[in-house]
A and B are shown apart, each in its own frame.
Chain A
């Protein structure tokens, strides 16, 4: 039993998270999944964060998504789709190299080209 406990302890190290550190983490976008080329991905992330910064105070996710969609359409060609929300699920078919899924603060965002 004792051995088992030791093993368990080894597998789940108790890391205490600094609240301040955590807050700092949530200020940054967290890319959950992206298959874009690096440069394009960076630009897309920037677009997303910019749009959300603009609309976060009013919690107007619709406006943010419209803005993101339009900006991406202009930058990388048409037929972009954008989902912004605090909770949603999806199962999508999208073009390769045009998918970005990220968290920013309390919001999840999904941009892809259909």
Chain B
């Protein structure tokens, strides 16, 4: 359209601009359209190029003049470079007139570069044909945009108007604020006019939704406040457990298991009384006890042993002199005075608890030579009380090793020869009990009761029957109720078997004493077994006045003592006594010495101890020594190995006495053989027997062999 307008007025323009081509070009440039631009480089270059050249020429003229001036004034090489215009040879030389002539130029819409002789192959005619120039040859599109405007008169616009009339809207105005100005304004005017014409309709169409006219609208509903709720359950109960696993622990465990298995197996083969659990429980219990013992050091067994040893050490240090005497002292007076001996008092054994009791029995332990048991009770009917058994050791003389309390006064006791911890005890109330002193408990293993049978009167002697052929252990007891009973230990009870009643009128047994030919029931006082024949034993009774009948090593000899001051020695085959001694006081006890057949000791109520050696003196005691001042002596007993005699008194004290060398001669005083030889000889028993036989022979011709 623009080109059209410029084309329409070419002459006017050319006339209006007389100033020169330069200005014209400028003008054309200003008014140039995109189409005209394309043509410019080709046509208008020449004038543009020439113009500056001419301008330069004009400008440089003064400069040249100046430079020439400069050349003249300064002939040195330091002048400015000389500028020279070099004209192309083809340049026209124009005069001033020619230069002032106006050349008109006409711009056409044709592109001179567009080829006009284009040939194209025609497939229809099968030959090349020149392409006739088309409409679009000279057109080049530089920019295109799809517009929303439409021509007022166009069909499209008419349709739009109709629609718009129906809706009564003015939207084109709002939607096209900046489109191509001219057309937009045109449409605007039309719409405004239409708007006025359709003003009445607009009210109707207000409610119709316009898809372009919308607005965002937001609303928020009420948010419920948040709550947090947690539940925590109780965690499962936990335990702590720590252990170690090692190869040896595994081995040990399996070993224990194996032992248990084996024990169980044994039990299975025997009786199935105890279940496995019980077994396990007992084992655990044992282990627990052991652990308990370990933990309590003060009351542990090790501690007890240690304390015992320390106690003995202290005691031996305190009584060092007595211990020295016990071992080494020999009375030198014996060598000067043959036929006389002395007793050296060593220890006194007593405790506070036995002060008011009488020593009623003494018994050396057959295995441990230093251990002896003492029974405490009372001989007096009116002063009966609880009894006691104390076991003393020569190693600890200040306090008994074992103390056992009994309900009734102890009258007699005896150790078993082969089971040295078994102690049979006879009491004043007629009960017999069996204690295991190693057990350290105060309770008897067995005790006689009315059900098992018991004596009704005090028991005067108990004695184990070692030579019995039966497997079960048994002991005999004698009581003043006139009965002799045998007590047999079976598995879990002690059975009483009455052996005999000491009937005075009858001849009780052929083996019994010939003297007991009295009427009535005799109260037994003592008895003893024959050393060589088990089925023989002696009984001493009250009526026969014997109170003690210890048996001699020589089978048929025995000794008796009684309260009538007299000691008699008998042969059980004769009713006449062989020897008798009057001691001038009631004799409490008499006992043969274990090492010499002719030595015996007797204790009397005036507190004297009389020791006889018939081999040395057949009438008088070798030694008659007062041991206690006021008390009465009740019992005496020789130690089987050491030359020690212990005597008990009625104040609860036991005295130990050492025999002087004269009192322990093993051979006859006038015999040539020495004591040592006698001791060394294996046939010591034979020597002793010979000694006794020789003694008897001297008494009675009957014994001469």
Instruction: Give the interface of A toward B (CB within 8 A).
Output: 3-4, 7, 11, 15, 17-18, 21-22, 25-26, 30, 32-33, 35, 85-96, 99, 101, 103, 106-108, 110, 112
Nearest CB to that of A107 among chain B residues? B250
Residues of B within 8 A of A4 (CB): 305
Knowing A17-B258, A17-B259, A87-B246, say if A96 contacts B253 (CB, 8 Å): no
Q: At the interface, is chain A mostly helix, strand, loop or mixed?
A: strand
- B238 to A95, Cβ gap below 8 A? yes
Nearest CB in chain A: distance from B258 CB, A: 4
User: Smallest distance from the beta carbon of B57 to chain A beta carbons, Å?
Assistant: 106
B241 pairs with A94, CB closer than 8 A:
yes
Can you list 26 contacts pairing A with B, beta carbon distance less than 8 Å?
A4-B305, A17-B255, A17-B258, A17-B259, A21-B262, A22-B255, A26-B254, A30-B253, A32-B243, A32-B253, A85-B245, A87-B245, A89-B242, A90-B242, A92-B240, A93-B238, A95-B236, A95-B237, A95-B238, A95-B239, A96-B237, A103-B245, A106-B247, A107-B250, A108-B249, A108-B250
Are the CB atoms of B262 and A106 closer together than 8 Å?
Answer: no
Return the chain A residue nearest B248 by Cβ.
Answer: A87
Q: Kindly list chain B residues whose C-beta atoms are within 8 Å of the C-beta of A91.
A: 240-242
Q: Is A21's CB under 8 angstroms from B261's CB?
A: yes
Is B679 on the interface with A (CB-CB < 8 A)? no
* Residue among B236, B253, B254, B438 with max Cβ neighbours from chain A (10 Å): B254
Give min CB distance, A35 to chain B, whole Å.
7
Apart from A22-B258, A25-B261: 6 A-B pairs, beta carbons within 8 A:
A17-B255, A88-B245, A89-B245, A96-B239, A99-B239, A108-B250
Contact across chains for B240 and A93 when beta carbons are under 8 A apart:
yes
- Produce 1/0 per residue, B246-278, CB < 8 A to A: 110110011101110110000000000000000
Chain B residues, CB < 8 A from A112: 241
Interface of chain B, helix or strand or loop or mixed? helix
Q: Roughly how many angstroms separate A35 CA and B247 CA in the complex, as a whole number?
A: 23
Of B236, B262, B290, which contacts A96 at CB under 8 A? Answer: B236
Give Cα A4–Cα B302 distance, bound, in whole angstroms. 10
Chain B, residue nearest A3 (CB): B438
Question: Are B262 and A94 interface neighbours, CB within 8 A?
Answer: no
| A contact residues around B244 at 8 Å (CB) | 88-90
- Residues of chain B lying within 8 A (CB to CB) of residue A30: 253-254, 257
Whether B243 lies near A15 (C-beta < 8 A) is no
Whether A103 lies near B238 (C-beta < 8 A) is: no
Return B567 CB to nearest CB of chain A, in Å. Answer: 39
Verify A15–B259 contact, CB threshold 8 A. yes
Closest to A99 in B: B241
Which of B246, B247, B250 has the most chain A CB within a 10 Å cutoff?
Answer: B250
Residues of B within 8 A of A101 (CB): 241, 243
Q: Which 10 A-B pairs have the closest CB atoms?
A: A108-B245, A91-B242, A89-B244, A96-B237, A25-B258, A95-B236, A103-B250, A87-B246, A22-B258, A96-B239
Asked if B29 CB lies within 8 Å of chain A CBs, one says no
Contact A22 B254 (CB under 8 A): yes
Q: CB-defined interface of B611-644 with A at 8 Å, one 1/0 digit per residue?
A: 0000000000000000000000000000000000
Q: Contact between A15 and B250 (Cβ–Cβ < 8 Å)?
A: no
Query: Which chain A residues border B262 with CB–CB below 8 Å?
Result: 15, 17-18, 21
A7 to B254, CA, bound (A): 26
Check: B60 CB closer than 8 A to any chain A CB.
Answer: no
Question: Is the pair B243, A33 in contact by a Cβ cutoff of 8 Å?
Answer: yes
Which residue from A3, A22, A25, A89 sits with its C-beta under 8 Å from B243?
A89
Q: Which residue of A lies closest to B260 (CB)?
A: A25
| Interface residue? B301 (CB, 8 A) | yes
- Bound Cα distance from A108 to B247, whole angstroms: 9
Q: Closest approach, in angstroms, between the C-beta of A50 and any C-beta of chain B? A: 20
User: Are A87 and B242 within 8 A (Cβ)?
Assistant: no
Partner of A103, one of B242, B253, B290: B253
Please name all residues of chain A whose beta carbon is closer than 8 Å to the beta carbon of B243 when the two chains form the complex: 32-33, 89-90, 101, 110
**Which residue in chain B gives the minimum CB-CB distance to A96?**
B237
Q: Write the B305-337 contact mask toward A (1 if CB under 8 angstroms, else 0).
A: 100000000000000000000000000000000
- Min Cβ gap B579→A in Å is 43
Q: Is the CB of A93 within 8 A of B258?
A: no
A29 CB → nearest B CB, Å: 10
Q: Which of B238, B242, B247, B258 has the most CB of A within 10 A?
A: B258
CA distance A85 to B438 in the complex (A): 49
